[in-house]
Structure 1
Amino acid sequence: MMKIALVAANMKSGGSERMMSRISFFLSANNEVDIVLFDSDEIAYEFAGNLVNLNAGVCKNKLARLFTIAKRIIKYNLLICKRKYDVIFAFASGANKIAAYSIGKAKVYLSCRGFGSLKNDCGKYHNMLKNKKNMILFNSYALQTYYESFYPEDITRTIVVQNAFDIEMIRSESVKPLPAEDKHFFETHEVLLSVSSFTDKKGQWNLLKAFELLKNDIPDAGLVFVGYRGDLESTIKDMASRSKYSGDILFVGFSDNPFKYMKAADVFVLPSVSEGFPNVVVEAMTCGVPIVATDCMTGPREILCESSEKAPDCLCDYYLADYGILTPVMPKKPNYEYSQTEDSHKIFARALKRLLTDDNLSDQYSKKAFERARAFDNSVMCKKYDTLITREGLN
């Protein structure tokens, strides 16, 4: 049995935190696991292991933030000395910055789970590897390739373990009934479903524009957003209210079971301009929903293509990949005016129309989606984490 620390700023929401929750369950089966949080005031996800709250939440005041960072470093390293961990996994940038300078002998895996953070902080990740105990754990092969194009000398210090999913649990939860107030909407529309928080990298303003174009051809199309929080939540809701099809747009808010919405949807959409490894795509595929996703960096191509090299390097139109449809990335800069559309919005709308009008293609992708999702089952990824904690390395 090994002592393992899973470190994060908090577990309020987010893909990294949700993945930390999942990993905690299969690591706890044969190891002693601590969930180390800087702030545990609000926890959105279940976990296995012992909760350790360092009581060092973020402050808005700049001077207070510097004090908080110092407080985190001191409290964290006091814990490291006391607990003498064998392995430490850090989740997201806030935890990376502290865990990178861990004292003691523990092997430290710093996580990189999004292209945006890697693009902005590539040099910082490289500097974190000056500590010989540290490794970078990517959740996407495309992220690893991008990093190593700048720092090929770090090739032995990077590892990829794609995100893990409890396929059986997702399937079980997906068949639960929708709330009555949402069920009627699904019964009266051909539903496009988006599940995410509302941030600039998620690109929901582009989705609203594509939806507006789609409605010209598919009058009974409906758009459902599941999720909450993010700097753009009120802005996106305001944009939706200005749509001439606002009555066909539904905001569900947070759901502890998004899978029942996925199961009930006709198409799952990912309009992101940047990702890492989008969990929601695999979750939707587990529910047997056909996918339309932008070919953003990184993740969608890796999930929807048997081999990433099969698809053209740069898409000029929608592409029928092995397990779903990829489209060109839509504008990265937020723009909330419906009158200002580009070709990429039209292409996304055409891809949606193709799935909603081609039953054979939709059925084909629905069946193949579940087959693909099984490649990311917990049982597969658990073996890779077992390899990491026993320090045998990964190929």
Structure 2
Amino acid sequence: MEKKKVVFFIYQMGAGGAARTFLNIINNLDRSKFIPVLVTLNYNGNYEEYLKSDIKFIKLNTRRLRSAILPLAKVIRKEETDIVFSTIPNYNTIAILAKLLSFTRAKNIVREAAYLGGNFSSNIKLIVYGMLYKMASQVVSLSEGVKENIVDRYKIKPHRIKVIYNPVDLDGIEQSMKEGEIADAHKAIFEDDAKVIITAGRLVKDKDHQTLLSSFSKVSRRINAKLIILGEGELEGALKSQAKELGIENNVYFIGFQRNPYVYFKHADLFVLSSIREGFGHVLAEALATGTPVVSTNCKPGAEEVLNHGEFGKLSNVGDVDEMADNIYKMLTLKKEETAQIIERGLQRAKDFNAKTIVKQYEDTFIKTMEIKKRSRG
């Protein structure tokens, strides 16, 4: 079989979930069948250093997304591309337009990762995206809930959408836990008998750390506990102020972005996600893979699917401070035998998202897309 060249296009290889997904797909792609080429705008991203050395990495000479259309079209043409794979609506739009302007036979595969829409203006915008998505050969959604949303908001036919869950690099997580160490500045957090709760994610509105802080305030009145917040973002100052107002600032630790969050997960007693919405909830699957029990909001649609309606972790209603506090307290005060059973179930669930399994689904999708291409020529 002739190797097929796949151009992966993303804004940057930053610290977000989309970049992590691209990293896992590209690194695990079968090199006997595919040649991956990664294209980003002219930014430096946290995940770049984790790319395998055989990956051709091209940075376009622009930081403006709309200015990337023609440069990306040139790359598609020069690389003799078979498939252009992109994710997130704005980037998918650029990838589709660039492919059209490349005047090649390359095929677009667009991935949708978010549960978007709700008001009139955003729904109209999504219909416009849907019109462009119809020019793509394949649409991929990262959960059944996202697929339903694409059908409802984007007006795409269900049969044109393939559901593929996010790939989780279980081997990489295991290695990170074995070889990684908690930074010296943070070791003292874990050295007493306090229960350690951890969360990870950008400090932005959708992650709703405000609810988590309020819930933690209630929990900390009942048991000796600490809260570690991994991540950076525009709300850091406001969240620190909230912690001070709640009188918990001495037990809340904002430690920023960590290159190896998994060693922190491993040593924590509980992982909590307080998001308002999640297309998949990648970090939940990663937390399960580290053997850490989970409490999450029932953020649509991802958490419900990852945790299978509460089978693999406790679910709270979005924004419900009291319910989240109760769930956190219950998880932290379980008997050891019960906690061990929850951990084992979580580890088994994480295997469903193993990057090696998920990437094969992407490979099958790439191959089927090329077969459609051949039939269309005939």
Calculate the TM-score normalised by the size of structure 2: 0.88
How big is the shift at 1:6?
0.4
Equivalence map 1:279-358=2 (5 Å): 279-305=282-308, 311=309, 321-330=310-319, 344-358=320-334
Question: Could you say what secondary structure the match of 1:52 adopts?
Answer: strand
**Would the alpha carbon gap of residues 20 and 151 (structure 1) be closer, same or farther in structure 2, given more than 3 Å must change?**
closer
How big is the shift at 1:43?
4.5
Residue deviations 1:290-321 (CA, integer Å, cap 9, x gap)? 1000001121110111xxxxx4xxxxxxxxx2
Which stretch shows the higher mean deviation, 168-177 or 347-356? Answer: 168-177
Matched, 1:11 2:37: no
Question: Could you say what secondary structure the match of 1:21 adopts?
Answer: helix
| Matches of 2:164 and 2:322, distance apart in 1 | 35
Partner of 1:215: 220
| Matches of 1:93 and 1:152, distance apart in 2 | 14
| Matches of 2:222 and 2:63, distance apart in 1 | 49
| Matches of 1:347 and 1:252, distance apart in 2 | 26
Matched, 1:376 2:353: yes
| Matches of 1:242 and 1:57, distance apart in 2 | 39
How big is the shift at 1:346?
0.5
Equivalent residue letter for 1:57: R
How big is the shift at 1:150?
4.7
Aligned-residue CA RMSD (Å): 2.1
**Would the alpha carbon gap of residues 393 and 248 (structure 1) be closer, same or farther in structure 2, given more than 3 Å must change?**
farther
CA contact (8 A) 1:2 1:86 kept: yes
| Matches of 1:251 and 1:123, distance apart in 2 | 39
Equivalence map 1:103-118=2 (5 Å): 103=100, 104-116=104-116
Q: 1:51 aligns with which of 51, 54, 57?
A: 57
Which stretch shows the higher mean deviation, 36-45 or 96-105? Answer: 36-45
How big is the shift at 1:235?
1.8
CA contact (8 A) 2:231 2:257 kept: yes
Equivalent residue letter for 2:91: A
Equivalent residue letter for 2:115: F
**Would the alpha carbon gap of residues 116 and 236 (structure 1) be closer, same or farther in structure 2, given more than 3 Å must change?**
farther
Question: Could you say what secondary structure the match of 1:213 adopts?
Answer: helix
Identity level (%): 24
How big is the shift at 1:196?
0.7
How big is the shift at 1:172?
2.3
Say how many residue pairs are matched.
Answer: 354
Partner of 2:81: 85
| Matches of 1:18 and 1:345, distance apart in 2 | 30
Partner of 1:250: 253
| Matches of 2:28 and 2:140, distance apart in 1 | 18
| Matches of 2:84 and 2:260, distance apart in 1 | 30
Question: Could you say what secondary structure the match of 2:9 adopts?
Answer: strand
CA contact (8 A) 1:9 1:94 kept: no
Equivalent residue letter for 2:236: E
Residue deviations 1:33-62 (CA, integer Å, cap 9, x gap)? 11111223344342231111111103xxxx
How big is the shift at 1:185?
1.0
Partner of 2:191: 187
Equivalent residue letter for 2:352: A
**Would the alpha carbon gap of residues 251 and 392 (structure 1) be closer, same or farther in structure 2, given more than 3 Å must change?**
same
Question: Could you say what secondary structure the match of 1:178 adopts?
Answer: coil
Matched, 1:135 2:138: yes
| Matches of 1:240 and 1:11, distance apart in 2 | 31
Which stretch shows the higher mean deviation, 200-209 or 135-144? Answer: 135-144
Partner of 1:122: 126
Which stretch shows the higher mean deviation, 202-211 or 10-19? Answer: 10-19
Q: 1:162 aligns with which of 154, 161, 165?
A: 165
Question: Could you say what secondary structure the match of 2:188 adopts?
Answer: helix
Residue deviations 1:166-197 (CA, integer Å, cap 9, x gap)? 21221221233322332221222201100111
Calculate the TM-score normalised by the size of structure 1: 0.84
**Would the alpha carbon gap of residues 372 and 4 (structure 1) be closer, same or farther in structure 2, given more than 3 Å must change?**
same
How big is the shift at 1:233?
2.3
**Would the alpha carbon gap of residues 238 and 151 (structure 1) be closer, same or farther in structure 2, given more than 3 Å must change?**
closer
Question: Could you say what secondary structure the match of 2:116 adopts?
Answer: helix
Equivalent residue letter for 1:106: A
Question: Could you say what secondary structure the match of 2:181 adopts?
Answer: coil
CA contact (8 A) 2:151 2:158 kept: yes
Matched, 1:196 2:201: yes
How big is the shift at 1:243?
2.9
How big is the shift at 1:162?
0.5
**Would the alpha carbon gap of residues 168 and 217 (structure 1) be closer, same or farther in structure 2, given more than 3 Å must change?**
same
Equivalent residue letter for 1:25: N
How big is the shift at 1:234?
2.2
The list of structure 1 runs, each at least 4 consecutive aligned residues, that deviate by more than 4 angstroms after superposition, is 150-153
How big is the shift at 1:237?
2.4
How big is the shift at 1:352?
0.4
Which stretch shows the higher mean deviation, 143-152 or 186-195? Answer: 143-152
Residue deviations 1:226-272 (CA, integer Å, cap 9, x gap)? 112x2212222232233312111111111110000000010100000
How big is the shift at 1:143?
0.5
CA contact (8 A) 2:6 2:83 kept: yes
Which stretch shows the higher mean deviation, 73-82 or 40-49? Answer: 40-49
Matched, 1:21 2:23: yes
**Would the alpha carbon gap of residues 43 and 258 (structure 1) be closer, same or farther in structure 2, given more than 3 Å must change?**
closer
Equivalent residue letter for 1:361: E
Question: Could you say what secondary structure the match of 2:157 adopts?
Answer: helix
